[in-house]
Every structure is written in C-alpha cells, then in structure tokens.
Amino acid sequence: MKAKTVFYCTECGNETPKWVGKCPACGSWNTMVEQPAETKKKTAPTAAVRSGGGRRPRPITEIETSDELRFSTGLSELDRVLGGGAVQGSLVLVGGAPGIGKSTLMLQICDNLCRFSKVLYVSGEESERQIKLRAERLGVRSQSLYLLAETDLGEILEAIRSLRPDVVIVDSIQTMFSGELTTSPGSVGQVKECTMALMQLAKGEGITVFVIGHVNKEGSIAGPKVLEHIVDCVLYFEGEPHMSYRILRSAKNRFGATNEIGVFEMADSGLTQVPNPSETLLAGRPLDTPGTCVTCVMEGVRPVLAEIQALLAPSAYGNGRRTSNGFDYNRAMLLLAVLEKRGGLLVSGCDAYLNVIGGLSLDEPAADLAAVIAMASSFRDKPVPGTLAAIGEVGLTGELRSVSALGQRLSEVRRLGFTQCLIPARNSGKLTEPDGLQLVRVRNIREALSAIL
C-alpha cells in the first residue's frame, strides 16, 4: 500500500493534499514540498500538555515582571545583540551558513556560562569526542559542561529532566526528531514539533535554550517560517566563508532592540571580538583613489562607518552591465538614474559596479549620498578627499533628505579622524557640530558634486 503523503509550505507550514505552485495561505511561490503524512503514535498525553491543564487566567495587575533575570554570556558583542545579555527562560535561534562559526560561537560562551551555571551541549551532528577536541582547541575545560550526542527528542528531554541544567544548547534543530511523528528528521513537521517542545521546556522550567539552525539557499532559516515566530530571539551569523570577519545580526528580539550587530573575527583559537568595527572596516582604505567614499550607518544603536567603492567604465555593448554587492541592487539602479538625470553625468553607457567593503549589507537610505559620490568620482576619475565622509538620503529629484541620529553619526565620524562631512542642508532637530569636524551642508547632488569634485 502506498504511503500517504501531503505537501507542506516551507514558509508558513500550511498543508495541502496536492501540489500547488502558490501557497494558498501565505501566497509564496514554489515553496511546496512533499513529505510523508504526519501520523502521531497513540501515546499518553505529553508532559507539556498535562502541565497546561492547571493554568487559570490571571489579572494583568497581579503578574510580576521584576523577576526577569539577565546574565552575561562572556562575549560583550553577543550580549549587545541580545539586548544586554541572555534572559533566563528564553529560546534563542542562531542561524547561519555552513562553516560560518555557529557551533564555535556557542561552544565559546560555555566557558563563561559554566562559571555560574550548569550547561548541557546537545549535538546531533558530531560525536562527543569531536566536541571535546574542538573544546580543547578553544580552551573550554569546565567540569560544569556536559555533552550529549543524541537526536531523539524524547531522550534529550529525559536527560534534561535528570540533569536539570541552567542552559541548553541544541546543535542543530534540523537533526532532531520526535518519536511521536512518523516523518523524517528535518521535515517541516519535525522541526516545528521539536521547537515547540523546547519552547515549552524553556518557559515551564526557566531554562535558557540556544538552538542552532541551518539556512537554505535563499539565506533564511530552513524549515517553516513559523519557527521564527515561536522563538524569542532570531540571530543571523553572516559573513563570507573566505573572509575572517563575521557579523552577528539580530532579526527578532522580544527582550531588546532589533538590527543590532556584533562583529567577530575568526582566528585559529576561535572567534575574537571586534569592539571597534568602524576602525576595522576602514583598515587599508586607499587614499587619493577615485571611486571610494565613506558613510556612517546605524546598526541598531551603534554607528558604524562603511566604505563604498564604485567602478564605472565605458561599456563595450549597447546596455551597460550593473552589479551590486552589499548594497541593494534596485536602490543602486535608482541612484544611477538620478545621477544621470539630476547630476548631469552620462552614466547610462557605462558598466557600473558597486561594492561595500568588509561584508556589510547596507539597507539604510543614509548611505545614498556616499554611493552617488563614489560613482561620480569613478566616472570623472577624480578622487574624493580622504578626510571626507558623506551622509544623506537622495530623492528622485536629486534633493537630499535628513536622516535620523545625525548627531551620533557625526561623533563617530569625528572619532575616526575625519575632518569634513557632507550632510543635508535641512536637518530635523538641533544639531551640535563636533569640534574639529567641518560640516558641508548641501541641498542636492549637484551642489554635493560641485563642492568636492
């Protein structure tokens, strides 16, 4: 008899009896995958279900919030991304590409966590001996760190109940499976079921759980999109595998601000923190070279200086080639059109290449002016002064719009040794000019280009 199969949407987890090109629930295209139908074994109700039977509604005024406990992970960059440290009883999802350093990061924080708590590291991908060898290389040798190589969720929950650790690290959620489902590990149903069980464990027992998740080819965490709705924090570990710098970015945080970043550098002894990412990202910047300009973007509450490089060359074909790395492609095409229409530069017949140094991904409009200046500098083959930075949003008519947190950005620009900064002429709120930093106020891109090129 043929086994019954159903189709799941990898984005929302919706189930349909037959394949469709567009998910009827979330509207995503080409996300339906075939899986064996979930059939739960006839077992007794789980502990999670039984524990919820005695709960009663309570008035909001009787609920205490002063007992929220935060603790440091030992890495200040990770604490910053988490909003000041990890919260007791929270569920944190850490995603990233293979080989980016997710397991290394989690194993490194065990050295500090084991000083005041008991940590259980569960791995479904490596043996206990492999984890021990990597821990010795990272200098982690605590008696309070317990290792378990297991993929059965029931065995893991039983080990947690007997050991009663304070922190649990699961590597990775795609390798775990529940015996109550007949589907294979890594399927949509298994990932959702295992994450729900870990969430109930974290909330019910007050255990902090870190879960490592794989990402698919689109860069999002593999499994149903509902996985990111279940957890309290979603952290993405980004960076090019052949580069030493890694960026930890917060995409969701119920206990702090989102879009915070932490910068790390991969070394032989593990990940080292980079407390001053602006200085690191600008190291080796070429001076008196056309096609480069520095801007300041806000990553959460942290101002970070980034270098934007552009290369414009006459095209050998009718249509110029356009490439963008680290800068939104559609935004780059918009700025090229504004540069030709409002700036008076005939860039339509040129191949245009835009690159952000250091692996950063700039999605903030404040980087528009620096990108325009870098492209104009390359087109005219005139260098931008090495002590100048540019901050501002560019509109379709070529005007410059004010940006948020301009005072913090200017302080960071001055701290890194820059003496000039292009800013929009109109700014919201009172602006204090830092000592030693000359502010060049411009109204549109024509004024900006004539002021420096």
Q: pTM value?
A: 0.74
Q: Are strands 208-214 and 91-96 parallel, antiparallel or unpaired?
A: parallel
Residues 210 and 243 in one domain: yes
CA distance 418 to 341: 31
Residues 126 and 25 in one domain: no
Q: What is the CATH number of the domain that holds 364?
A: 3.30.230.10
Residues 151 and 267 in one domain: yes
CA distance 345 to 377: 11
Q: What's the number of domains the chain is made of?
A: 3
Residues 251 and 343 in one domain: no
Residue 6 makes CB contacts below 8 A (sequence gap 6+) with 15, 16, 17, 34, 35, 36, 37, 38
Flag residues of the chain having pLDDT under 50: 1, 42-52
What is the per-residue pLDDT for 47?
Answer: 45
Query: pLDDT, tens digit, for every residue of 380-412?
Result: 999 999 999 999 999 999 999 989 889 889 999
Q: Is residue 48 part of a domain?
A: no
What is the per-residue pLDDT for 202?
Answer: 92
Residues 261 and 292 in one domain: no
Grouping H, G, I as helix, E, B as strand and the rest as coil, residue 229 is: helix
Confirm if 227 and 220 have CB atoms less than 8 A apart: no
Residues 266 and 294 in one domain: no
Query: Angle, nearest 10°, between helix axes 153-163 and 188-205?
Result: 10
What is the per-residue pLDDT for 184?
Answer: 76
What is the per-residue pLDDT for 219?
Answer: 64
What is the per-residue pLDDT for 89?
Answer: 92
Percent of the chain residues topping a pLDDT of 70 = 91
What is the per-residue pLDDT for 38?
Answer: 58
What is the per-residue pLDDT for 328?
Answer: 94
The residue out of 260, 275, 290 marking a domain boundary is 275
Beta strands in 377-424, from DSSP E residues, in sequence order: 388-390, 393-394, 400-401, 420-424
Domain containing 354 equals 280-452
Tell me which residue has tokens 């820059």.
418
Q: What is the CATH number of the domain that holds 233?
A: 3.40.50.300
Residues 21 and 121 in one domain: no
